[in-house]
Structure 1
Amino acid sequence: MIVSRRAVLAGLGGAGLSMPYISRAAAADYSWKFGHGFPATHPVHTFALEAAAKIKETTSGKVDIGVFPNSQLGGDSDLLSQVRAGAIDFFSTGGLIFATLVPIAAINGTGFAFKSTDAVWPAMDGELGALIRKGFEKADLYAFEKIWNNGFRQITTSKKPIRDPSDLTGFKIRVPVSQVYVSLFKALGASPTSINLSDVYTALQTGVVDGQENPLVVADTSKFYEVQKFCSKTNHVWDGSWIVTSNRTWRGVPDDIKAKVAAGFNDGAVKQRDAVTKLNDELATSLQQKGITFNDTDPAPFRDVLKKAGFYTEWKKKHGEEAWGLLEKSVGQLG
């Protein structure tokens, strides 16, 4: 399937934008709600709409999933509580958000671990991903087999590019509300501040922080190019989103329906992964045209600083020998 940037950002030809969710059929045996915090233009949403439509088709209308973007049903913390309680049926967000409940879900946020997506998928579709899903199971959640792609995170700045770790010394950078990100940038010598995404543009504009880090699709859709001058391609963290439901909801579904729902979301993940990779490549060109200057970086010096700071040793202890061993099996020795 070939997906252009325009098609992805327009919500599959605009169908996803004209309605916040897919219309429901009265004959559906299962009318489910899928909530998330991504914008309606984000590939997680547009491909979730496509997956929902496919599931409806393959189940002959027995399953009708309404997909609600933009935190319409609540913020991430609220949506997580709702899916656990059965108030909504599906929820998607990044592993680092889930980590408040499933600590192992944050392991993909280990700084400078994955060198490319070629290393990501064997790990997340293989033994490491299986171990993470067991963590969800312990939290009474069912995570679908294929994790979705948000892409590698890059650093944007207002005053200077980040070329090596020394450029981060004392640098005021916005990070998500996540222990992993705070730990990572403190170890690199920066001054990280946790700010909700909705407030980041203002924080950049007013100088509360000098930069931020996100996948390029976020820098584009949030218009950070209006208040940032440089983008340093650090690829410091690969970011992905799990789709989950509660074990209680999942146990009540017949096996044949489970298989078709799982196939819809897992097949959708594979398509979405490719689209996001292509989209990020195109966005680099687009953001350059909007005035952003790009530079590449060498990850080796950043890893060396993290080793000396004890970052990898700290997170190895937190994640445990088994999980860390599976991570290093995919990415090589870190600490």
Structure 2
Amino acid sequence: MTTSRFTPSRRTVLAGAAAVPLVTILKWPASAAEFEMKYATGQDPTHPVNTRAQEALNRIREATSGRVDIKLFPANQLGSDSDLLTQVRNGSVEFFNLSSMILATFVPLSGIASLGFAFKNYDEVWQAMDGDLGNHVRAEIAKTPIFAVSRIWDNGFRHITSSTREIRTAEDLKSFKIRVPLAPPLTSLFKALGAAPSPINFNEVYTSLQTKVVEGQENPLAIIATTRLYEVQKTCSLTGHVWDGYWVLGNKRAFNRLPADLQAVVSREIDKSALDQRADVAKLNESLKTDLKEKGLTFIEVQQDDFRKALAATTFYAEWKQKYGPAAWEMLEKVSGKLG
């Protein structure tokens, strides 16, 4: 997916998501920046992860009197998610927001937050991710050349869209060709339910659906809207099969070049925007249903218990418990309840 597919009018999709414009124009002399850095994302500029990130970067410039200038590069401008993960690891990009599921290819434990049907609602999500489980994952990330800069941001509960069959029950997923991110937990989930998952980088999703390489995909509503997937899909089944969050990752070596007081400003402002972005997504979920219906997408209500029972009848949970270990699993089940 390239930025050329999006137009300024897409901002209307997310009207009201943020109280300020996408980019607040603040000017400092070019020579004033003592530290210049890059912040990359994979999402369209209109998505709350970018509107709120830009606000944080503006506040950082202001609070540091222009000493720290972090430029935002949305919509995979600097490469695919896989490319950017490599770049933030080697320091050629200083900051990058990445789905916890895709981060699992590098830090396996991060995928535990996106385990199939683990969380029923946002209360459970934030209890886990702002609590022991989130802290445990952050500690694992910190064992690598990168670290989690702030609280986890919200990507949302994911739903299944299709251009062919309607997905109403777990049985409907049998042999269904579905695009998934390069994320082991999601590939495993759909294989367990009998589907045919195809891991494809995000910037190739629209084309893959358009050319029928896959029949469907799964994403939160904000992603379906901002990337205009409704143009190449007919139905959206509200499965809420996993919750996913975005970790804002930083390169340790690059971050440590900042004096301690500037580090504190960066972390504080990005963390503030994390909470603002969570609120944005919560407000958007209902309004986006209306907007997407008007764009021609048909919504299908499903019985989640049907999918849960089908998944529990497989070896899915037992296998992931073994991979994540008893300590992390216990932290998860304190919030989710018994799984499997």
TM-score (norm 2): 0.90
Does 2:164 correspond to 1:155? no
Provide the residue aligned with 2:23 in structure 1.
Answer: 15
1:85 Cα shift? 2.1
Q: Distance in 2 between matches of 1:23 and 1:288?
A: 43
The letter for the 2-side match of 1:302 is F
1:249 Cα shift? 2.3
3-state DSSP class of the match of 2:32? coil
Does 2:173 correspond to 1:168? yes
Q: Distance in 2 between matches of 1:234 and 1:327?
A: 20
Instruction: From the superposition, tell whether residues 33 and 204 of structure 1 become closer, same or farther in structure 2 (CA, over 3 Å).
Output: closer
Q: Distance in 1 between matches of 2:244 and 2:13?
A: 21
1:24 Cα shift? 6.8
Contact 2:132–2:331 at 8 Å: present in 1 too? yes
Instruction: From the superposition, tell whether residues 56 and 194 of structure 1 become closer, same or farther in structure 2 (CA, over 3 Å).
Output: same
Q: Distance in 2 between matches of 1:77 and 1:167?
A: 31
Provide the residue aligned with 2:14 in structure 1.
Answer: 5
Counterparts of 1:51-62 in structure 2, within 5 Å, are 51-62=56-67
Q: Number of residue pairs matched? A: 329
Provide the residue aligned with 1:241 in structure 2.
Answer: 246
1:241 Cα shift? 0.7
Q: Distance in 2 between matches of 1:82 and 1:228?
A: 33
Runs of at least 4 residues off by over 6 Å: 21-24
Does 2:6 correspond to 1:28? no
3-state DSSP class of the match of 2:313? helix
Contact 1:188–1:305 at 8 Å: present in 2 too? yes
Pairwise CA RMSD of aligned residues? 2.3
1:14 Cα shift? 4.6
1:323 Cα shift? 0.9
Cα deviation code 1:18-69 (max 9, x no counterpart):
x9x9977422332221122222122111111001111122222222111111
Q: Distance in 1 between matches of 2:163 and 2:13?
A: 30
Provide the residue aligned with 2:151 in structure 1.
Answer: 146
Does 2:194 correspond to 1:189? yes
The letter for the 1-side match of 2:272 is D
Does 2:211 correspond to 1:203? no
3-state DSSP class of the match of 1:31? strand
Cα deviation code 1:237-291 (max 9, x no counterpart):
1111111112222333322222211110111000001101211221111111112
% identity of equivalent residues: 47
1:298 Cα shift? 2.2
Q: Distance in 1 between matches of 2:136 and 2:218?
A: 28
TM-score (norm 1): 0.91
Instruction: From the superposition, tell whether residues 334 and 13 of structure 1 become closer, same or farther in structure 2 (CA, over 3 Å).
Output: same
